[in-house]
Amino acid sequence: MKLTYILEIREPQTGFCQVTMNVENVSEDTTLITMPAWTPGSYLIRDFSGNVRLLKARSQDNETIEIQRKDKSTWRIQNGSNRIFTITYEVYAGNLSVRESHVDSTHAYLNGSSVFMYLEGYKDQSVELWIKPYEGWKVSTGLEKSGDNRYRATNYDILADSPIEIGTHRSFVFNVEGKEHEIAIYGTGNENADKIVEDVKKIVESYREMMTGLPYKRYIFIIHLIQNGGGGLEHLNSCTIEFDKFDFSDPEKYKGFLHVVSHEFFHAWNVKRIRPVELGPFNYKEETYSTLLWVSEGITDFYAHLTLLRAGIYTREDYYKHLSSVIKVYDRTPGTKYESASDSSFDAWIKFYKPTANNINSYVSYYLKGEVLGFMLDSRICEYTKGARNLDDLYRHLMEKYNRDGRGFTEKDLLSALTDISGSDFFPFFTKYVKGTEAIDFPAELKKIGLTLEKKHSGENGSEVPAYMGLIFNSSSNPGNVHAVIENSPAQKAGIYPGDEIVAIDNFRFSPSFTKKFLDANSRIFVENLYGYKPGQKISVHVFRRGILMNFTFPLGMAQPDAYSIKEMESDEGKILREKFLQG
């Protein structure tokens, strides 16, 4: 069987792209064609078939072939004796997101799983792709090139996993290990392109050194400079990153950009070539559950920050600041008592991408828990091998073992690999911290590698303990709208509820001055700021709930420490392990 796709951008201002599938030598009289319902790396059903229109099929003689809908994602093509036929359809690409596709008069960005249908039973078939861009536009993609705007993929998974940027974007190229890396930038802001190229190259070189080589022939970073947004998504030989176009001049925000680059790039190993067994080949029609996303995403985030240190982009103080913020968020998330890393991974489809006001009380992100576990695994390997090995050795071992034949690993395989590298049994660790919710003694964990943890209260009153209600606000809505209420907090016990609008505190009109950022680097989530009040002091809070004015009077509690800092121990205790942990 031979399958050729033709992708056209005829009138980009309409938001549509046109797809033609030339099918030759099918063996069935009825052919099933499917549009994926989700995109790998983003665990949420998106039902991309809703963007399809004008789906048609024609024979070699240009006669209409009947098409019937089978379900929300699949159609039956009644091709009968026609072994050669053509399928055409249009896709509306109206969402500028790394997870979907976008076409307008400025460019076209195509995420394959939201654009290309596949023939049931033929996903392993090699395919050809011919791109016909809008006049004056160029093409950037990680697909293997076979001619002028012509590409090939060994199977549908590769086609779907190779995003395409088409337009007048800027391209910058550098080489590492003799392999070409392209940075394709769509949009403009206050970025310094030369600096981006320099720092991205440092990241690539650092991972190459850690993994002793690069696993691809060519790699492309597609970067979208937008306003008020951000994110990233990994692919086999590429990644797509969104970043606020005017945030490059802020050194801390720029480091945040490089963190996303580092995270998505490490996925070239962790997920794309070292993957849980469930994550490929993909079932694009329904949820694909895994209990190992804490490895795929959380440990990737652990390395994303550690690699910025190794690449010389972070100072040690930067890295310790980040690690202390991770520990702080973990400590201040009640859901850690209820949700294990395994369950958090499995529940991604119903909790992570569909957050509720109760998530903070009942759920812990597999990104957060996975990063914590990555740190704990790394320090333990260093400890058990007396500084001879670390987590890097585990990943080199996994790459050698599981990338060779393309098969995924199970939890049992991961435990076996940890024993191979460390000489120790990690089953008790998994029971407590991966499948269980046992509390983590962070000072003891840090001490293993010669670090200390200090917790205190920040703010105007120095060491004086501030008062605490237990409210979380989301700045994207009305500043007084309660986003969540912390479990067992004074506010929850008093009866304040998510969705309530705080209008006054002690007869003073509520304003942003009553809040502060939950994290220094997070501009969206805020907690209450009650300096001037003391624990035990009664407070009167006026709220609107569904348009009804209500009043709650209750005593304030004692706030948890919110200033965490990590420092190196003055003695040499743990120094050797610390250096192995940090530098590899």
- The rounded distance, in Å, linking the Cα atoms of 40 and 419 is 30
Q: Residue 496: CB partners within 8 Å, gap ≥ 6?
A: 469, 471, 482, 485, 541, 543, 552
Distances (CA, A) of 336 to 302, 322, 329, 332, 436: 18, 19, 10, 9, 10
Domains 2-167 and 467-560 share a fold: no
Instruction: Provide the CATH number for the domain formed by 293-440 in this structure.
Output: 1.10.390.10
- With beta carbons less than 8 A apart as the criterion, state whether 20 and 86 touch: yes
- CA neighbours within 13 Å on the CB side: how many for 249? 4
pLDDT tens track, the chain, 584 positions:
999 999 999 999 999 999 999 999 999 999 999 999 999 999 999 999 999 999 999 999 999 999 999 999 999 999 999 999 999 999 999 999 999 999 999 999 999 999 999 999 999 999 999 999 999 999 999 999 999 999 999 999 999 999 999 999 999 999 999 999 999 999 999 999 999 999 999 999 999 999 999 999 999 999 999 998 789 999 999 999 999 999 999 999 999 999 999 999 999 999 999 999 999 899 999 999 999 999 999 999 999 999 999 999 999 999 999 999 999 999 999 999 999 999 999 999 999 999 999 999 999 999 999 999 999 999 999 999 999 999 999 999 999 999 877 789 999 999 999 999 999 999 999 999 999 999 999 999 999 999 999 999 876 555 678 899 999 998 766 778 999 999 999 999 999 999 999 999 999 999 888 888 876 555 578 888 887 899 999 999 999 999 999 999 999 999 989 899 999 998 888 899 999 999 98
- The rounded distance, in Å, linking the Cα atoms of 474 and 491 is 17
Distances (CA, A) of 88 to 4, 33, 94, 346: 12, 12, 19, 37
- The rounded distance, in Å, linking the Cα atoms of 396 and 211 is 6
Could you tell me the residue ranges of all domains in the chain? Answer: 2-167, 170-266, 293-440, 467-560
Instruction: Provide the CATH number for the domain formed by 2-167 in this structure.
Output: 2.60.40.3650
Give 468's strand partners: 557
Choices 3.30.2130.30, 3.20.20.70, 2.30.42.10, 3.40.50.1820: CATH for 467-560: 2.30.42.10
Domain 170-266 fold is Neutral Protease; domain 2 (1.10.390)
pTM for this one? 0.95
Q: Residue 303: CB partners within 8 Å, gap ≥ 6?
A: 262, 266, 270, 374
User: What's the token pair of residue 139?
Assistant: 């093409």
Q: Where are the beta strands (DSSP E) in 387-537?
A: 451-456, 467-468, 471-474, 482-485, 501-505, 508-509, 515-519, 522-528
